[in-house]
Every structure is written in C-alpha cells, then in structure tokens.
Structure 1
Amino acid sequence: MGSIPFVAQSAPTKPLNIDTLFQPGGLAGRGPETTEWSPDGAKLSFVQRDEKGEKGELWYVDAATGEKKVLVSAAKLASLDPDVNKVKNEREKERLTRYHVAAYLWAPDSKHLIFDSQGQLWLYDLGTETAVQFTSAGDPSGDPKFSPDGKHLAYVRKHNLYVNSVSGKKEKQLTKDTGDNLFNGDIDWVYAEELAVRSNYFWSPDSKDIAFLHMDETNVPTYPITDWMPTHPAVEQEKYPKVGDPNPVVKLGVVDADKGKVKWITLTGAEDFYIPRFGWVKDGVIWAEVLNRTEDKMDLYFVDTKSAKPRLVLTETLEGAWFDFEHTEIRFLKSTGQFLWPSWRDGNMHIYLYSFDKQNPMAADAKLERQLEKGDYAVLGIKGVDEASGTVFFEANKDDPRQTHIYSVQLDGSGLKALTTEEGFHLADFSDDAKHYTQMYFGPQASPVLSLCSVGGACNPVWKANDEIAEYGLRAAKYLEFKADDGTILYGRLLLPPEGAASGKVPLIINIYGGPAGQTVRKSLPDPFDEILSRKGFAIFSVDNRGTPGRDRKFQTAIRHEFGAVELKDQLTALDQLLAQYPQLDKD
C-alpha cells in the first residue's frame, strides 16, 4: 500500500485539551451510576448526579411504560449515597470504582432499599420515603444482602459475618475470628483482583443458612503500598503473594443464621487450591468450584450441607491454558436441574448445557446435554436466562473480535440470533426474569447511549451522552490488519495527524499494552488523548499481539510461560509492516 492522504477532521465546536479532558463529567457528561434492576423486574433504578457530583437523585424507569420518576430526592441521597470522589482515601476510592461496589441494594419486596453510606447501612422505605440507620458500629459494615424472604439482612464487619432482622434490633455476630488474617465471607486482594470475586457469602433459598468462604492469610507475605497523594504519604501493608508464595488457605463453611452454628466442609485433599465460585443448588445442597494452583484444572462439587459430604460431579482440564474468570461464570437455572458452563474446550469460548437430578443432586455426575452455540468467536459473558421461554442471552464478538454484541440462543441449541447490529460495543444488563435489559452502546462514530429494551420489542433511551465526537472533532482511527510470523492475523489501529498538523516525516507514538487482560484495538469511542497528540503532529499506533483477549484459545495462550517474548515479536513484526505501508511515518 502506498502513501495515503492525512485524515480529514470535522470542525469541532469545543476546545480539546487536558483541562477539558479531565473536567467534571469528562467529555461525555456524567452518566448514570449504580444501575440496578428491582427484583420484580418492574423498575430500573440509577443515580444521576450533576456534572460536579454535588447533587444527585435516585431515579427509576418503569420497564413497562417507560415512565421516569425520582425515587430518592437529592436532599436525602446526599447523606445516603455521597459522591465517591469525596472519599479521601485513594485506595478505598479505587476499590469502590474498580470493583463497582454498589451503593444501594433492593430488598426482595422491591419496596425497600439498603444504602451503604461509607460503611454505615441505612434502610430506606420507598412508601414512606424515610431512611432509618441500620448500623452504627465504629467499624464499617459492607456487602449487605437481604435473606430471600426479606426478613433479615447479613453483612460483613471486620472480616466477620453478621445478621440482623430488618427491624435493625437483633444484630447477631455469626463468626467470631479476630485479627487481620482470618476472613469469613470477606474478600482478600487475590480473590478480588485475580479471580474477579465480588462476594464470598450467600443465603440459602429458604433463608435459614449462609454458605461462606473462610480464608486464612497468615502465611501470605505482605507488600508495602504507598499512597503518594496526601502531603504526607502513607504506607499500607497488603497481603500480596508473588510467584511461588503461599496463597490464602481456604475452606467453605455453612452457618445457621439463627443459632450461629458453623459446619465446615472439606472439598479436596489438595494443599494449594482456590475456591473461586460457590452457591446454592437448592436448600441443603451447595455447589463449589475448586481450581488448582496452576489454574488449568477445575472441579465442580455438590455438597450435602447436612452431612458436609461432597461429591465431584464435573472436572474440566485445559491443557496448556488457564481458566479465565471474567468469562467463565457458571449459571444454575432456578426451575430445572440444569446449569450453563462456558468453556474453551473446542478452541473458542462457548456455552455448554449440563443437567443433573434436581431432586437428588448428589446421586450422579453432571451430564453434558449439548453445546448451545459454536463458531470462530468468543462468548464474553452470559447476561441473562429467560427460563419460561428457554432463552439464553449473552455477549459475544461474533464476526469481529473488535466489537461486542448481544445475542440469544435457545436451550435446545436452536435459534442463535443477534439482538444488536450497529458497529461498536453493546453491553447488556438483564432483569432477573430476562424480559427487559439495559443496553449501553457506543462506537467509533457513536457517543454513548443507555437504553432500556424489551426483549423482542423496542429500545428507549434513558440517557444520552454529550456528542463528544462532533463537539470535540474526535476522529476514528484507521483499523488495520497485520500478520504475525506464523500467519496469525493481528489487529491494529492508526490515527494520523489532521491535515496541516505535521510537515515532513510524521513522528510515531506506539501505545503498547500487550495483554493479557485487555485489548487496545477496539471499535470503541475515538481516544481523545490520541486526538490531542495527533493535532500536535504525531501519529498514534497500537496493535494487539498474541496474548490479548477476545480471540481464540490458541491466540490467548501463546504467551503461557513465555511472557514478553511473543508479545515483543508481534509488536515489532506489525511495526515493520506498518512502516512499509505508510512511508510518511518517521521510522527513525
């Protein structure tokens, strides 16, 4: 390919610089926060703040009519859900934003909310529009969960489990370990960051018991983390295992929510393992995943909680690969003895349906019924299941690894269908009954829009971002393809300076991430910082080497036990091909 002309630029109406990039609300404006579905699927709630975050209201949209109303006024929300940017501790602020910690939770009756106001819990009655302080201990309480019958609330405080009646007058401490090394239902750094765990305890369907993970971090080495933001930096010691270091020792417990009696469960005789996911199959039976240290073998156990006896019902081994927990969430169906199991087994991430005896889960191994869909693409997450119609909804990058779309397929493996078509990213959040969903859409030519959609029906906008693409003259990068030394296609993007911004050879900035946890080449919003640099005469280039996500198993696992070698080779190979295609770039 020969030299091509510089990319034309639409006339911006607002100045683009570092100040506008980091202005309150950013270029797009402040979008909805903490979007949640009510348990009955009738309402979509979210917090909407002004650009500076000083005033916010909790709104809801009626899923059936589209009517939009204020649930909690700004005056009341100011104390119940203060702006996260006002949290002074930088590590706590990062925890809340990085792990999307919800500031409120719906009660099972869809008539009450529990707010976590910086460690103190408040119960809000939507009928009377009043809030009652639920906890007042000196230590913060977190990860609140209503029992399924709505009569009790459990939460974690100082690494221990507590339960209280919804009246707030009968608090009971269920676990009583002391010190900073023993966790009951709480989450440590490894499980939150590396295994994407967001909670470590779950109520039984009959509201009588709580299954929880116990963690012993005594032998995990510490690592000093310095907060440089304040005038006088502070040092915190984080339990942080490096390669070969001891991990937390874990075991499952089941505690009687009334009597506080704990029954411990031994799943395996192995000494070094993870329990990354667990939950309830039905009353009296829990399920648990056990992952080995090298993360290439997963066992699924069913456990009779009365006898504490486990049964191994499924084993999967990924030779030369690993289990990716962003995309391998097991999902049990509520009405039948079935569960969905995403797997890399055929070379791509796809969904498999297993069955078991719902009345007697301990009687036999889980049975593979079928693979629900197949093809040269990756399932990126199961988003919802409508059990009444037998429909599974999921996100995938079918036809283009640089995009994400929403799909549906029947439990019998028929009827694979795309729910979205526009170029870019479509991210879904389904109601519990999977009759409605939110869709966040954005792309190279489209600023973000959040819509409320009815399955099989219309999508109606709930929030529209500022048109940052037009207002600031953001240009989509040119999407390119290269070939690795083994013939594998590598995707890249290049943003050239606008006409007149550079003379002579164009200096090139290469933006490298290299994986394994994120793509840099996506058909997403144009990067405003890249645009700032390009207007100063630079070209910006990025390529996703082997090892980055969104591709097949072979592509992602090429870097296993070889961090750095394959990535650098692909970066340099793509760069050579780029310079040959675009001679106006300054290779020196």
Structure 2
Amino acid sequence: MKKLVLFLLLLSATVIVHGQQKNLSMLDAMANVRTTLAPQSLRGLQFLYGKEDYVYIKPLNNEMAWFTGNAGKKEDQLFLTLKQLNQKLRVAQQDTLAAMPAIQFNKGKEWIFAVNGKQLAYNPSANTFTTLMDRSLAGKDKAERSVAGYTAYLENYNLFVNDGQTAKQVTNDGTANVVYASSVHRDEFGISKGTFWSNNGKQLAFYRMDQSMVADYPIIDWTSRPAKNINIKYPMAGDKSHEVTVGVYNAQTQNVVYLKTGEPAEQYLTNIAWSPDDKYVYIAVLNRGQNHMELKQFDAQTGNYIKTLFEERDAKYVEPLVPVKFLKNDPQQFIWQSNRDGWNHLYLYSANGKLIKQLTKGNWEVLEVKGFDTSGDNLFYVSTEESPITRNLYVLNIRSGKSKRITTGTAVHNTEVSSSGNTVLDRFSTTKNPGTIDLVEVKTGQRKQLLQAADPLKNYALGESSIFTIKGKSGDDLYCNLFKPTHLDSTKKHPVIVYWYGGSHAQLILDQWNGGAGNYWFQYLAEQGFVVLVMDTRGSDNRGKAFEQSMFRKVGDVQMEDMMTAVDYLKRLPYTDEKNMGLFGWSFGGFNTVDFMLNHPDVFKAAVAGGAVTNWNFYEVMYTERYMDTPQENPEGYAATNLTNQIQKLKGKLLLIHGLQDNVVLQQNTVELVKKAVDNNIQVDYMIYPGHEHNVLGKDRTHLYQKVTDYFMQNLK
C-alpha cells in the first residue's frame, strides 16, 4: 500500500517552539517549506567511491561547483567546476553542458552523469568517457543497464536487450494484458521493479504478468472532447487475480527459460535475488492467503526448481519484504530479514537453508541494511533500538554477533557509509534541531561537523508542540504530537483538529525536524487558533508484529478504540473545546475517519476524509486480503467495514475528497457512499480533483489544504 502511504508521509509534522513576530501563510506552509523555509543542507552530498573523501555541490561565482573534504582537512576544497568538466568533455569529443549536472560519485570507480539525454561514465584515473546509454536507449521505458554493458528496456509492451550495438527482442507476446519487466503484485511485498540483472550482468531475471483474467476497470480521461475511457486492470478482493511468472534471459546465448514456480497460478513471487555465482535465482513464494512463505531456489540455466530452503507460516499473515543478502566474504551464507519473533530482525543462514543464528534480537525493528565493510565481517544496519520514533545506525560483527551504535543522540539519522565502512556521513535532525551533518569515523567515533542548519522558522510566531505517549486500553504506548495555538490562552476553549492514518507501513510521529513532513500545515492551523493532535494508533508501522496485526480481519476497530483514548486525553485538557472538534485522514486514514464518524457520531463535529476506502470489497487483492482475508472467508469483517451501508449513522459534517483519476483507491468507494447518503437523505460534502490520482500534488495541493482549512474554519469556529 505504498501509494496510499505517500500522502500521509507528506502530512506528519513536528515543529519547534518559538515566539517571534511573523505568521505562516498558506503559501509558506505548503510551498515555501520546500524553498525559502526549508532547512539548509548540502546538496548532492556523497562519498567518493573507494575513499573517505566526501563531495557536495554548491554555488560558486554564479554557477554550481563540486567541493570535497575529509576528516583530516579543516577546510573543504574546490573539486570540480563546470569549466573543468566541459574541458574534459570537449577533449573526448562529447557534448558540453550549460549547467553542472547531478553526478554519482559513490556507485563505482567511474562518475555517472547525463549529458543531453545520454548517460556517460567518466573514469578519472584514465581520463576517459564511456557512453553507458545513448539518447535513444536512455529514453526507453524501464531502461536498466548491467555491469556487463547490456541494457534492458520495454518497447511496444515487449522486453528488449541491447548489447551496445544491436537490440535483441526477448519476448513477442507482450500486450496491455501480458506485461513484461514491470513491477507486479500492485507494488506490494517490497516490489518496485521488474528486471533483475545477475551479478556479472550477463543474465536477466524478469517478471511476466498475465492479467488478461482480471476485470477491466474504467478510469475516465476528462481532458479530451468527448471524454474517453482508459481501462486499467484492478483485481478486487476475493476476485480473480493476475498470474505471474519469472523468466531468465541469457544475454550471451540469447536463450530464455522460465522458472518452474509451479501451481497454483495465483501466488506471489517476491524478493528476487541471484546467488553470488549467478547459477541460481532465489524467490520468496507466498500463497494467496499470505500465511505461508517458502524461500525457493531455482536453476538459472534450466529454470528447474531445486529446493525450498525454509518456510515461514503465521496464523494471520507473512509479509516478505527484502531479498536474501549473501555475505560479502562467504558465498555459502546469507542474511534473511523476518519478524517471526514479533520484531523485524536479521537471521544468518547457510546456503542450503540451515539457520545458523539470529543476528539481532529485541523489542525493536531493523529498518534497513546498509551493507558490509571492506572485509565483509561487519554489517551496517538502521534500527529503532533506542526508540520507535528515532533512527540510528549500528554496525554488527557477523562472527561475534555484537553490535555497536555509530550515531549518537536522540534523533532521526539518515546515513551513508563509505565503501570501506570506515567513515559515515550522518545527516540528522530532531524536533528542536533543523539539521546537522557530521562526518563520523567508525572506529574512534570522532566527528567533524560539516553543517549546522539555521532555524528557517526563527522569525515566525509558532505555537508550542510536543511529542508524548498516552496509554491505550491495550496497554500499548500510543505516540502523539500536540500543537498548541500560538499565544495560547489556557483559560479559553479552543477548537481541536486531529490527524491520523493508523494503517500499515506508515508512521506519523518521529523525533525529527517537522516530523519528516513536506509542509507546516499543522503549525499553520495552530496559528489560526486550533489545538492540533497527530497520533499513531495500533496498525501503524515499526512497533512490532502484534501492534500491526491487531487489526487483522476487522480493520478500524483497534484504531477507533485508540482514537477514543486520544479523545479522552483531549477532553481533559482545560483549553480544548470538546464541542468543536474535527477529524482528518487520507487513504487508510480516510477510511478510519469515516468509520469513526459513523460509529462514534457524537465525538467530532466535522471531518474530512480524502481518498477513502469506504468498502473493502472495492480494494485490491494483495493489500486487502492480507489484513482482512477474502470476502468469502470473512463476510462479517467485510460487512462491518462496509461504511456505505452505515452512512445513516452520520451526525456531524463530512467532507469527502477524491482524485478523479485515482487508480489506487477507486473513486467508486466515495461515489457509492454519496449515493447511499442521498438515498437516506443524509447530507455530505464532496470535492474532486481532476487530473490527480491518489495524491493531489503540485500547485493543486495548496488548493486542497485551503479547502480543508476552510471546512474546519466554517464548522468549528
């Protein structure tokens, strides 16, 4: 449900306390937050591959130039100017550039950048250029180049591979119904692409998705005259799903085999990985019921199934998200991520599927594996060990199993590790710190500060905000962020707005500048006199398996219970007006909002639900069946969460918002709800955003937030 999560990630906010003179405008809150009101940073900051030196880009004499530094240098030095780069290009008889391009210095020995549509690689040692992809190839759909110089791409629905001189058509039956080399399974299970080059770059694993059996769903293009229908394939819960297979193309022999993944055809093929010697392909095969995963090994030459290395079962669901990662210094061992003990952790396996040991353990989550150091003995990973609302980098010794924390302080750290593993670029912020960038030596812990961002809101009169927890009825700590009105008068009652999401793969509350949000809207509301509460209910991410799985088979119930806990807290505050409270959520949060308004109709006076699922029968197979099972297996759960049939319980004001081209949460959800409201003489408000899918972006986003703000101003003040 990544596309659902995108909207709320742009909303979550935590802002610091100030007492200056200016007030935020809506333009400040929604647009200037990315420009004049964004914290300072170092653009393009990265390591030079194979070195401990870092580079970044900044203005010099009215144009951009690259600068470099390291732990031993007090002052950074000029590294590369546009004039110098163009001189190198002229000597190589390449096109020159009018502006400094974005350059990848950390992916290998060569610098990678684009020149007039071409992708070039510059070798600084040999002072030579190589064309990785010419303009025609770089512009192809799904173009991906291997280390051996082959480029895979899509054209007219079919997969092609170009060796640098000629193109080989790998498939011939591609259509709108038979999709090649593209993300499958609606981007669930960590899937984001459809091609997977082998380590030596000479073999390509690729997805083939037959969706001919999935019903067409109409999305209307309103820009033409007359409007025209564009069909998409959208497998709804309980209905026929698509069928996926995995092919392997050998670029040297030009042979194609399909892995014998077997029956049933409706299964999920996820987390594709190659063995270090490129002889085998590993796939996490998940049944449609999503409660049984088998890690399977296949022969890349013949497609034959070799064996199942191990299985994972769960009474509710299994959700594999990350492929196997073989050790850098031992091709006979790999690391697997699993939440089988209740928390996502790292497990060390032998190549034959035998568990060697659990590498990390505790009531916290491993969020990301960064990679190995030069020796391969040490692995870097990011976790929530300190707190669910922080992010820290650790290094783990594979042999001893001992971990060492690299980053310091209560904060959210975003890190890059040098190719040697000796040095770390540490970007971090907190609710009181807009941003710091340090260079950290792993062994000694010594730090060199590269940047301390100034406070972009120092001249604004902001209300006080604080992160805290409240105890839910389940006994869980529920994280909240409270924004008090600017110049709060605690003797007066202030209207309240609560924002939430409450679904999986999303977390709103972080100890980070502005909570990682893309806007200052919550603080803007506080300036208008609102008390604003943001909260993470059960069902949210990074709190362990039980916390997320609590909503299994009847989504919304635990979220509503936790919201009532938050409401009780708000009512106890002396400065909140419990008669004038509003609720807002998008996507899963939109569902929760409507659900709460119908089942607790006397709590919130007004609510806004954007892109809301209102009937889980209308949502996609992969996500819905994970948390709800199928409608056939769980008719009571689907009936209880069919909000359309409960609209007659609505008492407060409700504004529904939907993107007119939404292909994630289909507009049929809210259209059906409105129709039932009309049938029952229930008044609801409705707003559409033509040209937008699930997320309202660009300049229209400011319009959206003005609409929501006006709705609460009209109904709560």
- 2:192 & 2:436 partners in 1: Cα distance? 27
Alpha-carbon contact 2:47-2:106 (below 8 Å) kept: no
Alpha-carbon contact 1:502-1:538 (below 8 Å) kept: no
- 2:229 & 2:460 partners in 1: Cα distance? 40
Residue 385 of structure 1 corresponds to which residue in structure 2? 372
Q: Does 1:579 align with 2:575?
A: no
CA deviation string 1:380-417 (max 9, x = no partner): 12122226152121111113211111122211353222
User: 1:113: how far off?
Assistant: 2.2
Closer/same/farther in 2, CA of residues 414 and 179 from structure 1, 3 Å limit: closer
CA deviation string 1:296-349 (max 9, x = no partner): 322111222233222111111122233162xx4432223211111121111111
- 1:220 & 1:397 partners in 2: Cα distance? 40
Residue 553 of structure 1 corresponds to which residue in structure 2? 545
Residue 304 of structure 1 corresponds to which residue in structure 2? 299
User: 1:464: how far off?
Assistant: 5.6
Letter in 2 for 1:335: N
- 1:58 & 1:317 partners in 2: Cα distance? 53
CA deviation string 1:445-480 (max 9, x = no partner): 111344454433545456665522434455662223
* Structure 1, 510-519 or 562-571: larger mean CA deviation: 510-519
Paired residues for 1:519-534 under 5 Å: 519-526=507-514, 528-534=520-526
Q: Does 1:195 align with 2:183?
A: no
Paired residues for 1:134-173 under 5 Å: 134-137=133-136, 140-148=139-147, 150-165=148-163, 168-173=164-169
Q: Does 1:16 align with 2:24?
A: yes
SS of corresponding position for 1:526 = helix
CA deviation string 1:252-300 (max 9, x = no partner): 1111113422011112322211112112102222211112223232211
Alpha-carbon contact 2:46-2:106 (below 8 Å) kept: no
- 1:229 & 1:448 partners in 2: Cα distance? 43
User: 1:26: how far off?
Assistant: 5.4
Alpha-carbon contact 2:504-2:541 (below 8 Å) kept: yes
Letter in 2 for 1:293: R
- 2:426 & 2:103 partners in 1: Cα distance? 21
Closer/same/farther in 2, CA of residues 382 and 229 from structure 1, 3 Å limit: farther
Higher Cα Rg, which structure: 2
Question: What's the % identity of the aligned pairs?
Answer: 24
Closer/same/farther in 2, CA of residues 122 and 572 from structure 1, 3 Å limit: same
User: 1:567: how far off?
Assistant: 0.6
User: 2:358 pairs with 371, 376, 384, which one?
Assistant: 371
Closer/same/farther in 2, CA of residues 565 and 203 from structure 1, 3 Å limit: same
Alpha-carbon contact 1:297-1:318 (below 8 Å) kept: yes
Letter in 1 for 2:474: D
Residue 252 of structure 2 corresponds to which residue in structure 1? 258
Letter in 1 for 2:271: R
**CA root-mean-square deviation:** 3.8
List runs of 5+ in structure 2 lacking aligned partners: 1-14, 87-95, 580-717
Residue 87 of structure 1 corresponds to which residue in structure 2? none
Residue 691 of structure 2 corresponds to which residue in structure 1? none
Residue 559 of structure 2 corresponds to which residue in structure 1? 567
Q: Does 1:273 align with 2:267?
A: yes
CA deviation string 1:82-113 (max 9, x = no partner): xxxxxxxxxxxxxxxxxxxxx87679763252
* Structure 1, 14-23 or 67-76: larger mean CA deviation: 67-76
Residue 93 of structure 1 corresponds to which residue in structure 2? none
Normalising by structure 2, what TM-score?
A: 0.66
Residue 513 of structure 1 corresponds to which residue in structure 2? 501
- 2:177 & 2:45 partners in 1: Cα distance? 34
User: 1:185 pairs with 160, 172, 181, which one?
Assistant: 181
Paired residues for 1:105-254 under 5 Å: 110-113=109-112, 115=114, 121-125=118-122, 134-137=133-136, 140-148=139-147, 150-165=148-163, 168-188=164-184, 190-192=185-187, 194-225=188-219, 236-254=230-248
SS of corresponding position for 2:270 = coil
User: 1:494 pairs with 445, 464, 482, which one?
Assistant: 482
- 1:160 & 1:31 partners in 2: Cα distance? 42
Letter in 2 for 1:320: K
Instruction: Give the number of the structure whose residues are more often helix, by fraction.
Output: 2
Higher relative contact order (CA 8 A, sep 6+): 2
Residue 399 of structure 2 corresponds to which residue in structure 1? 412
Closer/same/farther in 2, CA of residues 421 and 540 from structure 1, 3 Å limit: same
User: 1:425: how far off?
Assistant: 0.7
* Structure 1, 386-395 or 105-114: larger mean CA deviation: 105-114
Letter in 2 for 1:334: K
Residue 654 of structure 2 corresponds to which residue in structure 1? none
- 2:287 & 2:28 partners in 1: Cα distance? 48
SS of corresponding position for 1:586 = strand
Residue 90 of structure 1 corresponds to which residue in structure 2? none
CA deviation string 1:115-168 (max 9, x = no partner): 497xx54335365697969445599414444433x4433344444433334xx4
Alpha-carbon contact 2:489-2:575 (below 8 Å) kept: no
Letter in 2 for 1:299: E
Alpha-carbon contact 1:41-1:63 (below 8 Å) kept: no
User: 1:295 pairs with 266, 283, 290, which one?
Assistant: 290
- 2:225 & 2:395 partners in 1: Cα distance? 53
Alpha-carbon contact 2:19-2:462 (below 8 Å) kept: no
- 1:540 & 1:184 partners in 2: Cα distance? 46
SS of corresponding position for 1:519 = coil
Query: Would you say how many aligned residue pairs link Structure 1 and Structure 2?
Result: 539
Closer/same/farther in 2, CA of residues 186 and 26 from structure 1, 3 Å limit: farther
